[in-house]
Amino acid sequence: MRIAIVGAGALGLYYGALLQRSGEDVHFLLRRDYDAITTQGLRVFSVNGDFTLPHVHGYRDPAEIGTVDLVLVGLKTFANGSFSELIGPLAGDSTQILTLQNGLGNEEALAELFGEQRIIGGVAFLCSNRGEPGEVHHLGEGRIVLGEYRLCDRERVEHLAAVFSKTGVDCRVTDDLKRSRWEKLVWNIPFNGLCALLQQPVNILLAHDACRKLVREIMLEVIAGANAQGLTRPIAEGYADTMLKFTDDMGEYKPSMQIDREEGRQMEIAAILRAPLAYGRQQGIDMPRVEMLATLLEQVTR
């Protein structure tokens, strides 16, 4: 399979490296890592074992890649306005587009440009960070849940899941992509939001009883918002406790929004917080703690 990675950050570099190592024909659209990767290769430091890809296809312009079978989108959501220029040159008649981005609204934006039938959504539960140019650090997890934006051909998604499974990634298929997106938001909203606001990693946050209680309360608001969205089955309140236990095992992990704030980059407030708030309000669900968190994050970015 000929694959283009658009958004070669911690997520795109990690999954792209696994796909290339497993034998797929992978092409990376690069920015800051271009010189390092095209001259020295790509280094992956992983809890599952380190490896290096000495030869990587790297490009600055998507037109140099040409059409592909699959576009894997790992862009930060605030870059979605560049979908047309970055993905358009890669899309042939049969090209599929997989977004592994955070938050809500990404499949809708891609479908409007490239057609609903092409779009596959993926929810990646991945702990990874960027290192020096040309390297990525995989700290844990990595499983992916895949689903069609519009149900039409489950077999193609199962084939794609098999491609990821071949790399060693736990990859499964769902018929309720919306539910999987909201399940990740149960984690993403409190931890990305609070860690970015307080500039503290997850273990420091959970070490304080009052903060741990606040995290759980935010999770329950998100679960209430999710369950108003017409899911095939509701998310149980106990899922919040599962996510807390899951996070306890992460150690000193910094979510992506915390790193973005520390490095002076734009944060994904719109997709991760504002979009879920809007979907909740449409169904009559208020999330006051999430609203406060979004407001405070917007204030510190001014």
CA 88, chain centre distance (Å): 21
76 is catalytic: no
Catalytic residue among 76, 166, 178, 184: 184
- Is the CB of residue 98 less than 8 Å from the CB of residue 160? yes
CB within 8 A of 150, min separation 6: which ones? 111, 116, 117, 119
* Tokens of residue 217, six digits: 């309360």
> So which residues are the catalytic ones?
184
